[in-house]
Amino acid sequence: MICASANERFIQADVVCFFAQKTVEPDAVTTMSPAGCPHVNGFKVDNWKQNLRAIYQCFVWSGSAETRKRKAKSCICHMCGAHLNRLHSCLYCVFFACFAKKHIHEHAKSKRHNLAIDLLYGGIYCFMCQDYIYDKDMEQIAKEEQRKAWKISLLSLPLLSTHALCLCVLFCLSLTFCVSFSLLCSGLRGLINLGNTCFMNCIVQALTHTPLLRDFFLSDRHKCEMQSNSCLVCEMSQLFQEFYSGHRSPHVPFRLLHLVWTHARHLAGYEQQDAHEFLIAALDVLHRHYDNGKKANNPNHCNCIIDQIFTGGLQSDVTCQVCHGVSTTIDPFWDISLDLPGSSTPFWPLSPGGDGSALNGESHTTGATTLTDCLRRFTRPEHLGSSAKIKCSGCHSYQESTKQLTMKKLPIVACFHLKRFEHSAKLRQKITTYVSFPLELDMTPFMASSKESRMNGQYQQTVDPFNNDNKYSLFAVVNHQGTLESGHYTTFIRQHKDQWFKCDDAIITKASIKDVLDSEGYLLFYHKQFLEYE
């Protein structure tokens, strides 16, 4: 630990007066709080509210010039002397330390002081949970002190003449307009991890940056008819308002998490969950809660915003090997799950001009795997075999057959799920095979109308460069780092003019196109380049 100067010791002594007369010792009792973190109650002893308010007033929001000066002088790491590196303050004693260099972690471990506050954003970090946490009481104090700081900042402005004040206001309005549209109101906002909830945060980032979904919710077009306050569509509408409000501090999605737990019980709890599973569950609940979708008599022809954007039609053709009769069914889908090389399911990339060896079971693994390879495999004819005979309506008997999937109707937003998690009786593994994916994708070769170009598993290039009906642009990529048992989800999202950002819970950083395309990829979100209006 560095030796503090006389001036620094005076400042630290001044800081102590804002706290209770004695330091707070963590309670050994670990009963579960309403927030889900069992360690918050150890901090909630005598004078805890006054102590927390003092920290927010002096070191987080800092509304007056005096508190800003105090923060600038006193907020240094007590171990290395740095002013940056995401300083955190211990909630149990007067101690500031770096988060990036783990100095605050060392203090927490040695003193058994489990809670600290981020001095930039005001988030509460629990070292036992190893994550930022949410507590209703603490959040209320944070909001109250933030409002007070804004009022103090406005009152501390120098007195101006009417003309000067008008010029100042006009300048601020023009500056706010420029900043809001270039950065603040662009939807770039972090999300606090409430305890293994990165699986939810990454999907929320993808959904809030879906252009048509954003336009729908920001135009306030949802008219709720539910009697209770458990409508997920209403919560998503509020979430979009929060994201595009211009606020830069990370949002705490505790209400969204509560509603998801309420309506999708299999996702309840603080265990690690699957982002793909959350996406499907969220779309399902939104579909059911939307008023038009709720009233639709035919679930395959729903006109709710979710189905308008995400629903496509998958055509399945089963062909009898004797009479060559074809039985066709069309099913709705919200995503397309694609097998990968390295799984227990045989995989072979089919190149243009292939010899159709996919049908005889030969496996080809040479060369890089692309998203197009996965789609070719998904739409190739598959021989069902003698153990899966289907009764042919033409032959009136059970016959061997082939099955082929193609796209009958494409959604506005196409989500591709790369099946990286394999669960079977004999094997549980994460497949880390790199799959390259393009910024622009043409789905024409995989349409039902293009089926004749892929007879017997062969693939022929039939893309019309002037046909834009089935062309897509990449706008979000969800990645998973780690193993099957433990890992972390992040999201790349695209802004206007092909600017990409990485969303890692509360942290938003600039990313390059190379960063995006070099990533492993788990969920790929593509948006249609051209829309047809009915």
Residue 190 banded pLDDT, cuts 50, 70, 90: very high
**Homologous superfamily, domain 185-301:** Cysteine proteinases (3.90.70.10)
Rounded mean pLDDT of 505-519? 94
- pLDDT digit string (tens) for 164-183? 444 444 444 443 333 333 44
Residue 312 banded pLDDT, cuts 50, 70, 90: very high
Domain 311-467 maps to which CATH number in 3.40.50.1220, 3.90.70.10, 3.40.1280.10, 3.30.70.1350? 3.90.70.10
Active site residues: 198, 488
- pLDDT digit string (tens) for 45-93? 777 888 888 888 777 876 555 655 556 556 788 888 776 557 888 888 8
pLDDT score, position 375: 94
User: What does pLDDT average to over the chain?
Assistant: 76
- pLDDT digit string (tens) for 480-498? 999 888 899 999 999 877 7
β-strand partners of 337: 417
Rounded mean pLDDT of 440-449? 90
pLDDT score, position 99: 85
Least confident of 88-92, 136-140, 238-242: 136-140
Helix (H, G, I), strand (E, B) or coil at 403: strand
**CA 499/CA 248 separation, integer angstroms:** 18
Closest C-alpha among 490, 478, 413, 476 to residue 276: 478
Domain 6-155 maps to which CATH number in 3.30.365.10, 3.40.50.300, 1.10.1200.10, 3.30.40.10? 3.30.40.10
For the chain, what are the domain ranges?
A: 6-155, 159-183, 185-301, 311-467
Distances (CA, A) of 513 to 83, 318, 417, 519: 32, 41, 20, 10
Q: Which helix (H) or strand (E) holds 418?
A: strand 413-418
Helices (H) and strands (E) in the chain, counts: 15, 23
Q: Which amino acid is at 36?
A: G
Q: Which helix (H) or strand (E) holds 309?
A: helix 305-310
164 CB-near residues (< 8 Å, 6+ apart): none
pLDDT above 80 for 445: yes
Helix axes 275-289, 254-263, angle to 10 degrees: 80
- Indicate if 311-467 has the same CATH topology as 185-301: yes
pLDDT above 90 for 383: no
pLDDT above 70 for 303: yes
With tokens 């003019």, the residue in question is 497
